Amino acid sequence: MATLREYFESDFVYAVKLHGTLGGLEGLDIETVILCDFAGNAAFLSCCVPGDTHPTDLYLKLLRSLEHGNTPFFTTGKLTLPSGPIFPAELKVENDSTPLARILARFFGDPEWISAANLPTTGRIFIYSEFQLNDDEISTLKIEGRKLGREVQFRSTQYALLRSGFEVPLAFISHDHRDKDVARKIALGLVKRLCPIWYDELSLKVGDNLRDSIEAGLKRCKKCVLILSKNFFANGGWAKREFDSIFTREILEEKHVVLPVWYGAKKQEVYDYSPSLLNIIGLDWNTLGEDEVCRRLYNAIIDHE
């Protein structure tokens, strides 16, 4: 299951995101993203309020502090681009003193460049918070927001829980526990691209039957990402069982299920473990790096779907 924080980072994959913080609210730095939806010709805000013990008044003060053009916004310099497969335009970033003016888009076949600074602001604001407000408190926020010309969408841990319940995992990540750092980066990289996955740290809950949960994940997922390493080859436990199950699925369904990620693995080691793996095009983690591996895995999973 993805966390609320991960949804804050991965939602609105179609928009260009300018990251920063809002100032002037009781000394609390609120991580904020200006979302530029070029296709919808609109700009709006997404905020992540830290902590889990805030009263309703804090969120009301946040709404009242927002004044277009006057509220202090401190950019971090980070810019997140939209997902390539669903963004039908070119993007470029120029040197300019105004952050939004630096971001320009031009739709394919259109001669005109559009500046993010010229996108109309909608007044829409998404608030992500670990603190769960009740229905009456959320209604109060919405009513106050409309008085201020803002449409509020409040998203809490309940949002993350309910949303994840409707997401069928598309990929299972199989790895040796000693390669956890790489597995976690791949898992989060796919989650940020809105690709539902089965990954033990995100999918297992206290009280779950380990074997049943793993087998269910292996059966439901369309693809299986194998992190091939010396540790994986030496693992005679769960990693071996997962591989055997996936290999059996490929034979039974006559489909290509495996997506290998080579993490320091050698050809001879792969051959000794399973000769058939050498016939599958894999991704070299050490050569391509985290971002490119996650991008290619995402494309392979989505194209398959």
The residues facing 179 across adjacent strands are none
Dump pLDDT digits (tens) for 242-268: 777 777 777 677 778 889 999 999 999
The residues, ordered by sequence, that sit 6+ positions from 222 with a Cβ below 8 Å of its Cβ are: 170, 171, 257, 301, 304, 305
In percent, the amount of the chain with pLDDT more than 70 equals 84
The answer, yes or no, to whether residue 228 has pLDDT greater than 80, is: yes
Q: Using 50, 70 and 90 to split pLDDT, how confident is the model at 275?
A: confident
The answer, yes or no, to whether residue 283 has pLDDT greater than 90, is: yes
Q: Token pair of 182, please?
A: 């790489």
pLDDT at 42: 95
Mean pLDDT for the chain overall: 83
Task: Centre a 10 Å sphere on the Cβ of residue 277 and count the other Cβ atoms it contains.
Answer: 20
Amino acid making up residue 102: R
CA-nearest of 38, 30, 10, 34 to 188 is: 10
The residues facing 125 across adjacent strands are 45, 152
The residues facing 197 across adjacent strands are 171
| Domain parsing of the chain, residue ranges | 4-163, 167-304
- Judged by average pLDDT, the poorest of 139-143, 176-180, 255-259 is 255-259
CATH class of the structural domain 167-304: alpha beta
Dump pLDDT digits (tens) for 26-84: 667 789 999 999 999 999 999 998 876 667 888 888 888 887 556 778 888 888 888 66
Q: Using 50, 70 and 90 to split pLDDT, how confident is the model at 212?
A: low
pLDDT at 256: 81
* pTM for the predicted model, two decimal places: 0.64
